[in-house]
Amino acid sequence: MTYYPVYLDLRDRLSVVVGGTALAEEKVRGLLDAGARVMVITPAVTAGLAELVARAANGELVHRARAFQAGDLAGAALVIVTEGRPEVRDAILAEAREGSVLINTVDDLPRCNWIAPSILRRGHLTIAISTAGKAPVLAVRLRQQLERQIGEEHARFLEMAAEVRAPLAARHPDFEGRRERWYRLVDSDVLELLRRGEEEAAWGRFTEILDLAPPLPVEQW
């Protein structure tokens, strides 16, 4: 099978996690980072998960301290199953299919219609690595290699890029011209300047290469 890579917008959408292990806690944290509303269904949870539930002030995370029941996927966008007997997994899979809910059953490809990649995040930069379920540990090792190469300067670059997109489009309405300038900027020393903490110099490269003259005063950047 060849999977089609996609990034989901889960903001304010319900996601269900079945299980309360350390792996379930990892999945919950990732879903919360994506802005999802999360319901955890399991009799017992890790101390870390219990702390997350206690800190959830706006209902973004709730714990149903019981086993999975029919109807638990009502209104859900996706479900992640981290534990459970085969017959329980089958019941969850059947309900997910009936309700067109995306389901991932960890380390159980026949009961999945999507798989979770190994993820590297740097601010708005997200890199997902998948081995189509064949060797997830390889994806983890590749992510660890990338973590050593891609730092917080990339996150700051994207924040700065977001600030100049509108003025750049106004000044240079031609798409091809803008794209050429973006390539020149990315290929310049701007990321190295950001890595060294030289943000003023980095803004200078932005305004120079993107031709955003007159440059803004530093205090407005």
Per domain, the residue ranges of the chain are 14-116, 152-220
Residue type, 12: D
Q: With residue 14 as reference, give the H or E element that holds it.
A: strand 14-18
Whether residue 82 contacts residue 19, with contact meaning beta carbons closer than 8 Å, is answered with yes
Tell whether the model's pLDDT for residue 215 goes beyond 80: no
Scanning 21-85, the segments in alpha helix (DSSP H) are 22-33, 47-55
CA 89 remoteness from chain centre = 25
DSSP 214: S
pLDDT of residue 221: 45
**CATH architecture under which domain 14-116 falls:** 3-Layer(aba) Sandwich (3.40)
**Tens digits of per-residue pLDDT, 33-70?**
999 999 999 999 999 999 999 999 889 999 999 999 99
CA pseudo-torsion sign 39, 106, 132, 119:
positive
Region class of 27: left (phi > 0), else alpha (psi between -120 and 50), else beta: alpha
**Tens digits of per-residue pLDDT, 164-212?**
999 999 999 999 999 999 999 999 999 999 999 999 999 999 999 999 9
**Tens digits of per-residue pLDDT, 9-34?**
999 999 999 999 999 999 999 999 99
Using CA atoms, how far apart are residues 88 and 94, in angstroms rounded to an integer? 10
Neighbour tally for 62: CB within 10 Å: 13
Cβ-Cβ contacts under 8 Å for 196 (sequence gap 6 or more): none
If you count them, how many residues does the chain have?
A: 221
Average predicted confidence (pLDDT) for the chain: 93
Long-range contacts of 1-5 (CB under 8 A, 24+ apart): 1/132, 2/132, 3/114, 3/115, 3/130, 3/132, 5/117, 5/128, 5/130
